[in-house]
Chains A and B, each alone.
Chain A
Amino acid sequence: MRLPQSLLLLAAAGSAAQASSDKPVRPRGLDPEFAKFYQDSTTFTCISNPSVKIPFSAVNDDYCDCPDGSDEPGTSACAHISRNSPLTVADRPGNSDLDTALALPGFYCKNKGHRPSYVPFQRVNDGICDYEECCDGSDEWARVGGIKCEDRCKEIGKQWRKQEEQNQKSMTAALRKKKDLLIDAGRQQQEIEDHIAALEAEVHGAELKEQNLEADLKLAQEQDRKVVRTGKGKGKGKVSALANLAKGRVDELRNALVDVRRQRDEARERVKELEDILAKVKVEYNPNFNDEGVKRAVRSYEDYAAREQGTEDANGAVDRDLDEIAKADSEENGINWEHWENEEDGCNDLDLVYKFAAYLPPSLVSFIEDRVISVKSYLEEKGILPKADEDSSSESKAVTQARDALKTAQDSVTSLKNKLRDQRADLEQDYGPGSIFRALKGVCITQDAGEYTYEHCFLESTKQNQRKGSNSVSMGKFSNVGTTTVEEVNTAGEVVNVEKMTIEYNRGQSCWNGPNRSTKVILECGEENKILKTAEEEKCVYSMLVTSPAACAGGEAGNDAPRSKDEL
C-alpha cells in the first residue's frame, strides 16, 4: 500500500512540521506527512505491517527491521525493498509472502530555502551529493568516505524560483497562444463548413446541368438517325492494289517486329546480367559492414526480385510464333502475295477480310487474333509505333458537340463531389481537442541533432535531413492524432504512467531490414513549437518530443471548436 503524495500535500506538510517543532524530534529523512506514525517514543509499528513492532530505538538504526522499510526513513538500510531486488526469505523474515514495497516515498530533504523533495533511499549515504533532489546535502549525513555536501539550497532555490517565475510567464504566454490557436482553428473549421455548404450547392447546380445536357444529347442522336448516310468508302479499291499496299505494310511491320525483338533480347540479357550481379551482391555482401548504401541496394533488389517473379515471360510458344511471323512470305509461309496481286476484283471489303483470313495459315490467324492487338498497343505505348488515327466518327457534328458538353458537365460534377468528399473528411478528421491542430497544420519546425536536422511539419510529415549532404529521408506522413502513455518519475522517485497527446506519422521511407519509418510525436506544453529531442526508439521507429502551446492544459471552451472571431 502506498500513501498518496502530491506537491500540494508536500507543501502543506512542510508548514505543519514547523508547527509541531516542540514535539519529539522527527526521525531523520521523514516527511512530516508521516510523522503521525512515529509519535510513540517506545515502540514503533511498521506502517504497512502493523503486526511487526520494534523498539523505537530501532528506527533509523541503519538496519532494516520492517518488511516495508518504514523503520529506516533516514538511511539506505531498507533500500533493497523493491520488486527490482533479488530478495531472499531472510530479507522479510516471517513475511515471505508479502508484496515488497516501501511504505515511505523516499528520504525527505527539507531543502530549506528551496522546496522539500524526496531522494530515493538507494542514494542516501552513497558518497554522492544529489543536489538535484537534495539541495541541502542532507542525504549524505553520514559523510561516508569523508564526503561533505554543503547546503546549496539558497542558490539553487533562488535559481529555481527565477526559473519558476519564467515558467509561469511562459505558461501564461503559452495559454494565450493556445487561445489564439483555438480561435484560428475555429475559424478554419468554420471556413470548411462554409465551403462545404457552398460546394453542396454547386454540386446540385452541376447535376441539374448534367441532366439537361443528357437530354440534349438524346435529342441530337435521334435526329441523326433520321438522316440516311451513304457509305463513305466507295468500294472502288482493287484487291491487288490493296494487296500491294498490305504487303508493303506487312513487310514494314515485320521488320519493325524483328528489330523490336532484337532490342528486347538485348535488354533481357542486360537485365539478366544485372540481376546476376545483384543476386551475387546479396549473397556475398557482409551485413556486418554497416554500409547504408549497400544495404539499401540489397533491400531494393530483394523487393524487386519478389515483385518480378511470376511476370517472367520468356515464353517459348510466343517466340515460336514470332519466329514464324518473322520469316519472309512465300507460298509455303505466310501470305502468298502473288496470288493476291493477280486476284480479280469484285468482292466487297467485308468479303475481302474473310478471304484474306482464309489465305493465312491457321497458326497466323489465331496469332493475329490473340496477339496483334496487344503487340500493336505495346509498341504504341512505348512510342515505337505512332498512334494510329482515331476512327473518324460517323456522327453528326451536333451529336458530337452534345456529347462533349455532357462529358464536361459530368467531369465537373465528379470533381465537385470529390472536393466535397475531401472537405467532409477533413471536417471529420480528428484535429485534437478543439480541433486545435487545424491552426498548426503545415507549420514546420526543425532541430539540429548530430548529423541530422529533424523536421516536423504539423499534421503533414516528419523528416530527417542530412546536415552534411542534401539527403532527406521521410520519417512518416501524417496518420492521426492520439495519445500515448509515457513513464515518468514522480517526486518520490517512482515510475508512473502519464498520458500525453501524440501526433503519429507513418508510411515513411522503408528501412533496410526493417519497417517503413514512422514517428510518434509526443507533445508537451510549451510556449513555442519546438522539437526538444528526436530518438530512434527501435530500428526506424522514431519518437519526437515536441513542445507546443497546443498541448497545454486549459483554455478550451468546451468540446466544440469555438466560433470564429466575429461571433465572439
Chain B
Amino acid sequence: MARSLPAPRWAMLLSLVVLLGCIVVPGFAVKHKDFKTCEQSGFCKRNRAYADNASSQGASWSSPYELDPATVHFKDGVLTGVISKTTTANEKVRLPLTVSFLESGAARIVVDEEKRMKGDIEMRHGSQANKKRYDETEKWTIVGGLEVSKSATLNAQSETGFTNILYGPDYKFQAIVRHSPFGVEFQRDGQTHVQLNHRGFLNMEHWRPKVDGKDGESSEDESTWWEETFGGNTDSKPRGPESIALDITFPGYSHVFGIPEHADSLSLKETRGGPGNHENPYRLYNSDVFEYELESPMTLYGAIPLMQAHRKNSTVGVFWLNAAETWIDIVKSTASSNPLALGAGSKTDTATHWMSESGQIDLFVFLGPSPNDISKTYGELTGYTQLPQQFAIGYHQCRWNYVTDEDVKEVNAKFDKYQIPYDVIWLDLEYTDDRKYFTWDPLTFPDPKGMQQKLDETERKLVVLIDPHIKNADKYFVSEELRSKNLAVLNKDGEIYDGWCWPGSSNWVDCFNPAAHAWWATLHKFDKFKGSLQNLFIWNDMNEPSVFNGPDMTMPKDNLHYGNWEHRDVHNVNGLTLLNATYKAMLERKKGEVRRPFILTRSYYAGAQRVSAMWTGDNQATWDHLGASIPMVLTNGIAGFPFAGADVGGFFHNPDKDLLTRWYQAGIWYPFFRAHAHIDTRRREPYLISEPHRSYIAQAIRLRYQLMPAWYTAFHEASVNGTPIVRPQYYMFPEDEQGFAIDDQLYLASTGLLVKPVVQKNTHSAEVYISDDEKYYDYFDFTVYQGAGKKHTVPAPEDKVPVLIQGGHIIPRKDRPRRSTGLMRWDPYTLVITLDKDSEAQGSLYVDDGETFDYERGAYIHRHFNYRESVLSSEDIGTKGPKTAEYLKTMAGVTVERVVIVDPPVEWKAKDTVVVIEDGAKLASTASLEFYEQESGKASYAVVKKPNVGIGKNWRIEF
C-alpha cells in the first residue's frame, strides 16, 4: 500500500464485510489461468493487432485482398472468382471465392486457399494431419436449405469495380461485391444492412514455410506462428499460422444478439474495453469451465456462431460456419451529424470482427427482415429443434447422485406421496461400475430393471449419464472394443490419445468416424447395455470434450480425428458428433420399437437442436446465477437451440428456501426444466423443503404441468419453423426500441403468456414491461395492466411468479394434476380466452401420442382456435396422413371441459347458456355459462361448463 493515510473505519468495516462474505460463500471462482485470454491465443492476438494496425492507418489502410475481375463468373445463382492476397513480401496468394444465393433468401460466402486445397504445402514435424482447410463442418451442421436460387441475377447497373447480384423475394435483396479491396455489402430494399470487410480486417493467413534465422527481414511478429504453449501443453502447429478473420458491420444497428454460449446479457456488449464493456472478445471454444463467472465473454460449453443484429423493424443475421476456436470482437460507434443531437438523431453502427484459428471462411448472411425470418431460414439450414417426447417437457429430477436403485425408487415414491408431479429421474456418474459406461455398479444398482419397471408403472423415465471418455481398462468390453476397432481419437503421433477424466486414464471415442457411429449404436442395444429398458434415455456430458489434464480443459489441438483432421479444426463440432451417434443409437435400440430419442448434452454446436436438449452446465446456487439463466436460455432460443434450461436450484452450493422457491418459479419457464445438485450439497428434492415453501414449489411445478398443452404446442411450432420456445422482448415487439435490451422477462411462444421471474432476494413485486396497448391480465386473479411502453408493478409474494396474459389469446390447459405427463393423456382441456381490443382471440393446439414418430404419418391433432364476433371455433390446421383417422379415434373421448373467458362483454351477465355445435352432431346443444364480476382493477370472467366438444373435432360455441 503506497498510501500512508490511516485506515479509516469504513475500510475496516469493508474488510470485515469481505471476510464475512468469504465465510458465507466458499471462495470458489473460475480458474482464469486455465482458460486463454485473447492475448494468450496466438491468432486472436495477431488478428486484433492486424485490426488495430488497420484502424490506426484510417483511410490510408488498404486491405490487401482483391477480387480479380477476370475470374468473376456468375451462373445459376452462384458467383465464383479468385481473391488475390498480396503478402508483405509482395507475393500473391490465390483464394478461391464462392458466393451462393439461396432459395431461402440467405447468401453464402466461402473463401478457401488454393495451395492448401491442393495439398501443395509441407507439414512440419512430419505430421500426418490433413493439409486442407477443414471443409466438413457443413457435414455435421447443415441438413438443408442449400437450394440455390435460380432467379438470382446480375444487376446490369453495377458500377465499374463492382459485381452486384439481385436476389431474394421480389429481388428485394442485393449483394454488392466490391473488387478492390474485396468486400461485400448486403442491401435490402436499397438500404445496406450488412458489410463485409468494410473495415479491412479480412485476413486469411496463407501457408508459408518456416524459415529459420531470417530475423529482421520481416516486420511481422512470428512468435505465435509455429508453436504455442499453454497450461503446460505445447501445440506443435504443423501447418503454421492459418487463421481466418473478417469484419462484419451492421450499419444503423445498435443491438446484436446470439453467439451462445456465454454467461452474459442477451444484448451483447462491446469487447474492446471501456466502462461496462468487456476487455476480451466473446470466445467460442467449447470448454468445461469450472465455476464459471457471470457477465463474461468467456467461452462456455457450447457454441453457435449465429448472430442477429436488430434495429427498429429490422433484423438481419450472420452464421459463421467454422468449428475451430473463434473469437468475436464487438464495437459500437454512434455517429451524428449534429453532435448536440445525441440520441434522437444519432445512428449507431455495430461492427464485429470474427476470428477463427483455422478452416475456411464460410459465412451465411440473412437479411430478415424479422427475427422470425432469421429463425426460419437458419433452421432450414441447420434443422429445427426436434419434437421431443412429451415426458421431456415435464419436470426432471436430477442429483449427483441417487446412490442406489432403492434410493431412486424411494424418491419416486416420495413425489407421489406429496403429490408433486415429475416425469424423469436421473442418474449421474456414480451408477456405473467404477465409472465404466454401459455398466451398473453391482452393489448399488443390483436391480436396474426392477427400478426402471417401477418408474414405468407411472410412465416415468430414467436418464443415465454416458460420456465420450472411455475408461482405459483391461477386461472392460467397451475399452477393448474401442481400441481393437481403432475408433479412438489419436494424438499427434497417431497413437491412441490418453487423457484424464472421471474414470482416470481414458480414451475418447472419435465420432467423426462413421464406423464409430455404428459401433456406438451396438453399445446401446438392450442386450449390450444390460439392465437398460425402453424407458431409459441418455445424458451426454463432458463432450466438449472435457479433459482434466488438457489445455483449456480439453484435448490438445494437434490431436487427430478421423480423416486426419486436427482437433483444432473440429473442436467446436466435436460434441455434436457424439450426439448424432447417440441419437442414431437410440433409434436402433430395438427393431420395431422406435421412440423419439431424448438426449441431454452439455456441449453443442449449430445443429445440435435436431437431436438434443441442452443445459447451461455447472451453475451455482446464487441469486445472480438464477438471474443469468434467463438471458442464457433466451439467447439459446434465438440461436436456434431453444430446448434449453439451467440447473434449477444451482449445481454448486446449497440454495436457501427462498432462492430454491424462486428458482422453481423461474425454472418452470425453461423449455428444459430440470433440478440438479452437486454431490456435496444437501438433498433438496421439493418434498424435503419445509412448508410453506414446499407448497409454493409444488404449485410452480403443477403450473408447468397445467400448461403442458401450450408447451407441447410451442415445441411443435419450434420444430416446424424454428421459433424460440421462450422469446425475448425484441422478438415479440421488433418495433419497440425500449424493449430491445430487456432480457429479464420472457414470452412463452405465441401463447400470449408474459413472465417475469423474480430473481432477487426479498423481492415481492416485479416491474413488468408492457410494449403495446393491449390489456394484460394477471394469470391468477385477472388483475388488468394496460399502458404501452412502460413498466407495471405486479405483486409477487413468495408463492407467486408474475405471469400476465396478453389480450387476444386462447390458451389450452389441462387442469387436473397427475403424477406424470403420460397420465394426463386422457384428461379434458380447459381453454382460457383473453379478448383483444377488437374482442377477438386466437390460439392453437398441437397434440400427438408424445412418444413415437407416428405424427409424421398424420397421427396428430392440430387445431386453430378462433374467437370472433362472439363465436369460438376450432378448426383443423393439420394435414391428414395414413394414421390420422386411427389417432383421432383413440382421442375421441378427450374433450374440452371448461372455457374461461376473461373480461367478457358486460351483456353476458344476462346470459346463462351458450350454443354448442359440433361437427357430426345431429343437433346443437347448450352448455351453461356463469358470469362472475370482480372488484375493480380485476377483470370479470365467464365460465362455460362442460361444452364437451371433442378436442379433435371441428366445433363452434356461440355466445
| Known contacts A120-B419, A290-B679; A127/B441 CB under 8 A | no
A84-B702, A88-B781, A467-B443 given; A144·B893 CB < 8 A? yes
Query: Which of A313-321, A378-386, A535-543 forms contacts with chain B?
Result: A535-543
A window 112-144: CB within 8 A of B: 120, 122-123, 125-128, 144
Cβ contacts A to B, 17 pairs, < 8 Å: A63-B897, A82-B419, A84-B418, A85-B702, A89-B781, A89-B941, A122-B817, A126-B818, A126-B826, A127-B822, A127-B825, A128-B457, A289-B502, A467-B443, A493-B419, A533-B406, A535-B407
Q: Is A145 an interface residue (CB 8 A)?
A: yes
Partner of B817 from the list A80, A128, A535 (CB cut-off 8 Å) is A80
Does B80 lie at the interface of the complex (its beta carbon under 8 Å from any beta carbon of A)?
no
Chain B interface residue count, Cβ-Cβ cutoff 8 angstroms: 63
- Contact yes or no, A86 B548, CB < 8 A: no
Given contacts A89-B934, A489-B417, 15 further A-B contacts (CB under 8 A): A82-B817, A84-B418, A85-B817, A86-B780, A88-B779, A88-B782, A90-B782, A122-B419, A122-B818, A126-B827, A144-B893, A145-B890, A450-B403, A535-B410, A539-B680
Using known A-B contacts A88-B779, A127-B823, A450-B403, determine if residue A80 contacts B816 with beta carbons closer than 8 Å. yes
Q: Which residues of A contact B823 (CB under 8 A)?
A: 126-128
In the assembled complex, the Cα of A506 lies from the Cα of B492 at a distance in Å of: 54
Evaluate whether A84 and B698 lie within 8 angstroms (CB atoms) in the complex, with A122-B419, A286-B290, A451-B443 already known: yes
On whether the beta carbons of B819 and A126 are closer than 8 Å, the reply is: yes
**What chain A residues lie within 8 Å of B706 (beta carbons)?**
86
Identify the 3 closest CB pairs spanning chains A and B, nearest first: A538-B682, A144-B826, A450-B444
Chain B interface mostly: loop
| Distance in angstroms between the alpha carbons of A76 and B825 in the assembled complex | 13
Q: Which residues of B contact A63 (CB under 8 A)?
A: 897-898, 945-946
Q: Are A536 and B781 in contact (CB-based, < 8 A)?
A: no
Question: B180 contacts which chain A residues (CB < 8 A)?
Answer: none
A62 touches B403 (CB 8 A): no
How many Å from the CB of A2 to the closest CB on chain B? 16
B307 within 8 A of A: no
**Cβ of A205 under 8 Å from chain B:** no
Q: B825 contacts A288, CB within 8 Å?
A: no
Docked Cα-Cα span, A513 to B678, in Å, equals: 12
**CB nearest to B429 among chain A residues:** A290
Residues of A within 8 A of B943 (CB): 90, 93
Q: Which of A127, A489, A513 contacts B680 (CB 8 A)?
A: A513
B543 contacts the other chain (CB 8 A): no
CB distance A90 to B900 under 8 Å? yes
Find residues 389-416 in chain B having any chain A CB closer than 8 Å to their own CB: 400, 403-404, 406-407, 410
B819 touches A86 (CB 8 A): no
Known: A86-B700, A86-B706, A144-B893. A536 touches B403 (CB 8 A): yes
B782: chain A residues at CB < 8 Å are 88-90
Cα A120 to Cα B816 in complex, Å, equals 12
A122 contact set on B, CB distance < 8 A:
419, 816-819
Q: Which of A286, A513, A537 is within 8 Å of B548, CB to CB? A: A286
Q: How far is the CA of A70 from the CA of B457 in the complex (A)?
A: 29
Q: Does A325 contact B (CB under 8 A)?
A: no
Interface flags for B695-719 (1: CB within 8 Å of A; 0: not) read 1001110110010000000000000
A79 within 8 A of B: yes
Contact with B along A442-473 (1 / 0, CB 8 A): 00000001110000000000000001100000
Cβ of B815 under 8 Å from chain A: yes
The reply on B191 being an interface residue by CB < 8 A is: no
Please give me the residue from chain A that is nearest to B703 by CB atom: A86
- B681: interface (CB < 8 Å): yes
B171 → chain A, closest Cβ, in Å?
Answer: 51
Q: In the complex where A61-B946, A79-B817, A80-B815 touch, is A86 in contact with B444 (Cβ < 8 A)?
A: no
Q: Are A288 and B618 in contact (CB under 8 A)?
A: yes
**Residue in A91, A125, A538 whose beta carbon sits within 8 Å of that of B826 in the complex:** A125
- Does A514 count as interface, using CB distance less than 8 angstroms? yes
Q: Tell which of B618, B699, B779 touches A84, judged by Cβ atoms closer than 8 Å.
A: B699
Task: Write the B496-536 contact mask toward A (1 if CB under 8 angstroms, else 0).
Answer: 00000010000000000000000000000000000000000
B28, closest chain A residue (CB):
A287
A86 touches B682 (CB 8 A): no
B777-817 interface bits toward A, Cβ cutoff 8 Å, 1 = contact, 0 = none: 00111100000000000000000000000000000000111
Is B781 within 8 A of A451, CB to CB?
Answer: no
* B702-742 to A contact mask, C-beta < 8 Å, 1/0: 11001000000000000000000000000000000000000
Contact surface of A with B, Cβ cutoff 8 Å? 61-63, 76-77, 79-80, 82-91, 93-94, 96, 120, 122-123, 125-128, 144-145, 286-290, 449-451, 467-468, 489, 493, 495, 512-514, 533, 535-539
* CB neighbours of B476 from chain A (8 A): none
When C-beta atoms are compared, the residue in chain B nearest to A537 turns out to be B683
Q: Determine whether the beta carbon of A289 is less than 8 Å from that of B548.
A: yes
Q: Taking beta carbons and an 8 Å cutoff, which residues of B are in contact with A? A: 28, 290, 400, 403-404, 406-407, 410, 417-420, 429, 441, 443-444, 457-458, 502, 548, 618, 679-683, 695, 698-700, 702-703, 706, 779-782, 815-819, 822-828, 832, 890, 893, 897-898, 900, 930, 932, 934, 938, 941, 943, 945-946
Distance to closest chain B CB from A109 (angstroms): 17
A161 to chain B, nearest CB (A): 24
CA distance A76 to B938 in the complex (A): 29
Inter-chain contacts of B679 with A (CB < 8 A): 290
List of A residues within 8 angstroms of B695 by Cβ = 83-84
Minimum C-beta distance from B522 to chain A (A): 29
Given the known interface contacts A84-B698, A122-B819, the answer about A94 and B419 at a Cβ–Cβ threshold of 8 Å is no
**B781 surroundings in chain A (CB, below 8 A):** 88-89, 96
Q: Are B406 and A84 in contact (CB under 8 A)?
A: no
Give the residue of A468, A493, A539 whose beta carbon is less than 8 angstroms from that of B682. A539
B420 CB, min distance to chain A CBs, angstroms? 7
CB-CB under 8 A from A82, the residues of chain B are 419, 817
- Shortest beta-carbon distance, A535 to chain B, in Å? 7
Instruction: Please measure, in the bound complex, the distance between the C-alpha atom of A96 and the C-alpha atom of B783, giving whole angstroms.
Output: 13
Interfacial chain A residues near B815, Cβ < 8 Å: 80, 91
Tell me which of A87, A123, A451 contacts B441 (CB under 8 A): A451
A88 touches B780 (CB 8 A): yes
Q: How far is the CB of A146 from chain B (nearest CB, A)?
A: 8
Contacts of A88 in B (CB 8 A): 779-782
Q: How far is the CA of A489 from the CA of B679 in the complex (A)?
A: 29
Distance between Cα atoms of A290 and B441 in the complex (Å)? 17
What are the residues of chain B within 8 A of A538 when measuring CB–CB? 681-683
The answer for the CA separation of A186 and B934 in the assembled complex, in Å, is 70
**B786: shortest Cβ distance to chain A, in Å?**
19
State the Cβ distance, B398 to closest chain A Cβ, in Å. Answer: 16
- Tell me which of B407, B502, B698, B819 contacts A123 (CB under 8 A): B819
Distance of A535 Cα from B703 Cα, bound (Å): 31
> With the chains together, A94 CA to B443 CA distance in Å?
57
Give min CB distance, A62 to chain B, whole Å.
7
Nearest chain A CB to B852 CB, angstrom units: 15
Task: State the Cβ distance, B370 to closest chain A Cβ, in Å.
Answer: 33
Once the chains bind, are B897 and A62 in contact (CB under 8 Å)? yes
- In contact, A84 and B290 (Cβ under 8 angstroms): no
Residue of A nearest to B699 (CB): A86
Q: How many Å lie between the Cα of A568 and that of B695 in the bound state?
A: 54
A493 CA to B413 CA in the complex, in Å? 12
When chains A and B are docked, how far (Å) is the Cα of A538 from the Cα of B689?
12
Q: Chain B residue with minimal CB distance to A466?
A: B443
Chain B residues within an 8 Å CB radius of A126: 818-819, 823-824, 826-827
The listed residue (A90, A144, A467) touching B941 by CB distance below 8 A is A90
Closest A residue to B830 using CB positions: A90
Nearest-neighbour CB distance to chain B for A88, whole angstroms, equals 5
In the complex the two chains form, what is the Cα distance from A402 to B780 in whole Å? 92
Contact partners of B28 in chain A: CB under 8 A = 287
Contacts of A537 on B, CB cut-off 8 Å?
Answer: 683
Given A450-B443, A539-B681: A86 and B816 interface contact (C-beta under 8 Å)? no
Q: How far is the CB of A549 from chain B (nearest CB, A)?
A: 25
Q: Which residues of B contact A79 (CB under 8 A)?
A: 816-817
